[in-house]
Amino acid sequence: MDQAAEQPRKCPGLNCENDASTLQCPKCKDMGVESFFCSQECFKRSWGEHKQLHKSTNPLRNFVPPKVVSKVDPETGTFNPYPTFPFTGPLRPLYPLSPRREVPKHIPHPVWAADGNPRYSFAKRNHIDILDEKAQNAMRKSCKLAREVLDTVGAAVKPGVTTDQLDEICHNACVERNSYPSPLNYNNFPKSICTSVNEVICHGIPDQRPLKDGDIVNLDVSLWFEGYHADLNETYYVGEKARSNPDIVRLVETTRQCLDLAIAQAKPGVAFKDFGNIIEKHAKSQNLGVVKTYCGHGINILFHCAPNVPHYAKNKAVGRLAPGMTFTIEPMINATPSSRDKTWPDDWTSVTVDGAPSAQFEHTLLVTETGVEVLTARKEDSPGGPIPMPNSDKKDEKADDAATTNGTT
C-alpha cells in the first residue's frame, strides 16, 4: 500500500520532453521492448535514430528500460499497481485509491488515527474481560449503530458500484452516527471498510473496480462509538448471476450456516476452541475449506483482544465463555477444500491460493447467563440474507489441512 504509483512514462523521441501516449513502435513491440511515443509525428521524426535499436543484436542496447510501469488506462486513469505480481485468480487491484477520508474533529479518534499504531499491550493476552452492565449497554449501542451502517452499505451493493463508493457510503454513515470507522488507519489500513470480492478472503481495500454481475462481496464494518468497538460482516450476492450460480450459493449459504451453528452452541462454560469443530465439520460436509490464518476475537474498548477464536477443528484456543464477555465469530470459508491464503503486496488483501471464491460472516456476541445475545443481529429489513441452497451434490475429495499461523481480522 505504501508503494506509490509510477511516474508516467516519457516519449523516447529525439529531444522530446513529452509524456508517452499509447502509440507504440510496432517493431519494438514485436521484439518485446516497450517504446511508447508521444505522437506519430515525433515517431517519424525520430525514426532514423530509433531504428538503429532494432538492428542491435541485443535489442536492449542503448535502450533504457522503463521501471516496471503500471499501464494506466487512458480513459479512466486507473491502473494495476502490481503488474508483475503472480495473482492467484482473476481479480486485480484498481488504483489510484481515492484520497484519505477525514473524520470530523468533534468525533473522538482512536490512537491509531494519527500514526496507524494501535499500541496494544500484550501483557493481558490471555485475560478475557468481563463487561459490567454499563459497558454491556455501551456495546449494545455501538453494535446497533454498526448494524445500521452495514445495512446502509449493503443496500448499495449492485453491479457497477465501485468498492470505493461503498467505502464512501460507510465512512459517511459512521460519521453521521458520531462514530469513527475503526479500520481507518488501523495499522495503516487506508480505508473505512474492508470490501472483499470473490477470491479475497478478507481485508480487501476499497478501490476503483466496479462490482460485476456474478461477483460476491464481503462488507466488513467496524466502528468506535463512545469508547466501544463493534464489528460485523456479511457476504452479498452481486446481481442475478451470483444468485443463480449454485457453487456460489452453496459457498455463501454454508458459510452463513457455519456462523449460525457456532452461535447456537454458544453459552457459558463452552470452550472457545469448540467453535472451530462445529464450523469445520459443517464446511467439510460441503467440501469447502476453512481459513486458519484469521480468527475471531474479543472486542470491547479494544478493537481486537482476548479471546482468540479460531474457526478450524482441533485448535488450541484458550478460555471458556462466561457472562459479560464480548467477542466475535467470523468464519472465512473457501469454495475449494484448500484453507490456504496469500497476501497481495499491499500487505492487506488476503486471497485464496487457488483463486477460488471465499465467503465470510461475522457477528459481535455478548455472553449472557443462558447463551449469547447477538449484538449485531440482522433486522427484519436488513438487505442481503439467506437464499435457498441449490440441491447439494457432495464430493469426496480430501480436505487440505495445511496449518498456518493464527492472526486476527
Nearest CB to Zn ion, comparing residues 248 and 309: 309
What gap in Å lies between CA 343 and CA 178, rounded to an integer?
A: 33
Residue 161: all three cell numbers together = 458500484
Stretch of residues binding Zn ion (CB under 5 A), selected from 50-58, 137-145, 326-334, 386-394: 326-334
Q: Which residue has the cell 476503483?
A: 208
H or E stretch covering 142? helix 133-154
Q: State the Cα angle at 163 between 145 and 331, rounded to 5°.
A: 60
Nearest CB to Zn ion, comparing residues 168 and 234: 234
Nearest CB to Zn ion, comparing residues 72 and 266: 266
End-to-end CA distance of the chain: 18
- The verdict on 233 binding Zn ion (CB under 5 A) reads yes
Shortest separation between residue 194's beta carbon and Zn ion, angstroms? 7
Nearest CB to Zn ion, comparing residues 81 and 183: 183
Strand order in the sheet with 289-290: 289-290, 332-334, 358-360
Within 13 A of 372's CA, how many CA atoms are on the CB side? 26
Cα-based distances in Å from 208 to 101, 125, 159, 217, 234: 15, 38, 13, 14, 21
Shortest separation between residue 292's beta carbon and Zn ion, angstroms? 16
Shortest separation between residue 408's beta carbon and Zn ion, angstroms? 7
Shortest separation between residue 285's beta carbon and Zn ion, angstroms? 25
Nearest CB to Zn ion, comparing residues 280 and 362: 362
Question: How far is CA 342 from its chain centroid?
Answer: 12
Shortest separation between residue 362's beta carbon and Zn ion, angstroms? 5
Shortest separation between residue 195's beta carbon and Zn ion, angstroms? 12
Helix, strand, coil tally for the chain in percent (to 5):
25, 20, 55
Stretch of residues binding Zn ion (CB under 5 A), selected from 50-58, 86-94, 212-220, 250-258: 212-220
Nearest CB to Zn ion, comparing residues 199 and 231: 231
The per-residue b/e assignment along 305-326, b for 16 or more CB within 10 angstroms, e otherwise, is bbbbbbbbbebebebebeebbb
Shortest separation between residue 328's beta carbon and Zn ion, angstroms? 4
Under 8 Å between Cβ of 216 and 235? yes
Binding site members for a protein: 203, 304
Shortest separation between residue 173's beta carbon and Zn ion, angstroms? 15
What gap in Å lies between CA 193 and CA 213, rounded to an integer?
A: 21
Nearest CB to Zn ion, comparing residues 142 and 233: 233
Nearest CB to Zn ion, comparing residues 167 and 231: 231
Stretch of residues binding Zn ion (CB under 5 A), selected from 41-49, 227-235, 261-269, 382-390: 227-235
Binding site members: 203, 220, 231, 297, 304, 330, 362
Stretch of residues binding Zn ion (CB under 5 A), selected from 67-75, 229-237, 251-259, 381-389: 229-237
Within 359-398, the residues that bind Zn ion by CB under 5 A are 362
Binding Zn ion (rule: CB under 5 A), the pick from 179, 328, 334, 339 is 328
Residue 270: all three cell numbers together = 463452552
- The verdict on 293 binding Zn ion (CB under 5 A) reads no
> Which residues, listed in sequence order, are joined to residue 306 by a DSSP beta bridge?
none
Residue 304: all three cell numbers together = 481486537
Cα-based distances in Å from 79 to 73, 125, 189, 213, 220: 6, 41, 20, 22, 25
Shortest separation between residue 85's beta carbon and Zn ion, angstroms? 26
- Return the closest-CA partner of residue 316 out of 282, 272, 283: 272
Binding Zn ion (rule: CB under 5 A), the pick from 148, 151, 168, 231 is 231
Nearest CB to Zn ion, comparing residues 164 and 220: 220
Stretch of residues binding Zn ion (CB under 5 A), selected from 50-58, 157-165, 166-174, 213-221: 213-221
- The verdict on 234 binding Zn ion (CB under 5 A) reads no
Under 8 Å between Cβ of 202 and 350? yes
Total residues in contact with Zn ion, by rule CB under 5 A? 6
Binding Zn ion (rule: CB under 5 A), the pick from 220, 234, 253, 280 is 220
Binding site members for Zn(2+): 220, 231, 297, 330, 362
Q: Which residue ranges make up the site for Zn ion (CB under 5 A)?
A: 220, 231, 233, 328, 362, 409
